[in-house]
Amino acid sequence: MAELPPPAHADDDAFTSIAPFYDLDFEEYHDDAAFYARLATNHGTEILELGCGTGRVTVPLAQVGLKVTGVDINEAMLKIARARSRGLPVTYRQGDMTDLDLKKTFDLVTIPLGSVQHLASSDDLVATLEVVARHLGPGGVGVVDVESPHSDDFSVGPLPVVEHWTKPWEGGTVTKVVAVEPHPSEGMKWITWHFDVADREGRLRRVNAAFSFRTITLDELHLAGRLAGLKIIARFGDYEFTPYHDGAERLVVLFQREDDPMQWVYEEDDGFEIDPEEAGGA
């Protein structure tokens, strides 16, 4: 059986202990990577991914020829990302998305799949969007993807514990069990992931990860963006460029710097073009 990290989180990061199992959750989840690749065809090939984790999005983007810089705070996740990215045009950096300056700019700055929902406060959200603004080049676009708010986010008390899946792993199996306790007054959910690991000899071990997860609304992203010098240029409810709507599963927001002379205009039919008037005729 593969060696697992100790249950104690020496770096106080819940994802250290569950890094070996993280990709089991997303084996068939590719739609967002295709979404970012499509954006890159219009905006450029230099991409900064904040909260890159194990390289789930980074690797497919690099495989289609994009030059990606991935940043994550967790070294255990980055170790997996580096191993799966050998030979690809990817650079990884350990860093905090709320306080980062790489001294260069990019065509796209992405924060995929709810990474900003792990931030502790609204101040951290503003600081992160300031990092996005700092790293956007002329005509550059920032992309923030979060869960669209759901009625369960505003329930009081623990939700029923759910067994998500059982999958093969290292000759044995792993079962993921999830417990969620919303705290609507704080705009937070407390989430615990339990991974029950059975090795090939039938020995059992439970690996836990507990973390908070913010509920983030469109208005909160709008205000945080304005404070960071960004403006929203589009909002989608999925990775097919569907306009954001009630009942959408995702809230995918595109930002540009307010002072960028090259402004993009996104239409509801998913077309997009430069606004020549705001671009000064460029």
What is 127-157 written as a DSSP string?
HHHHHHHHTEEEEEEEEEEEEPP-GGGG--S
pLDDT score at 26:
87
pLDDT score at 282:
34
Asked whether 23 and 81 are in contact (CB, 8 A), the reply is no
Successive 10-residue mean pLDDT values, the chain, 282 residues = 41 78 88 96 96 96 97 96 95 97 98 95 96 97 97 89 95 96 93 94 92 95 98 96 95 97 73 43 36
Q: Which two tokens stand for residue 122?
A: 């609204």
pLDDT score at 271:
42
**Token pair 């990775």 in the structure block, residue:** 239
Phi, psi of 272 (to 5 degrees): -155, 150
Residues in the chain: 282
Domains of the chain from N-terminus onward: 23-148+216-274 (3.40.50.150), 151-214 (2.20.25)
DSSP β-bridge partners for residue 236:
243, 252
Model confidence, pTM = 0.88
Distance CA 134, CA 105 (A): 7
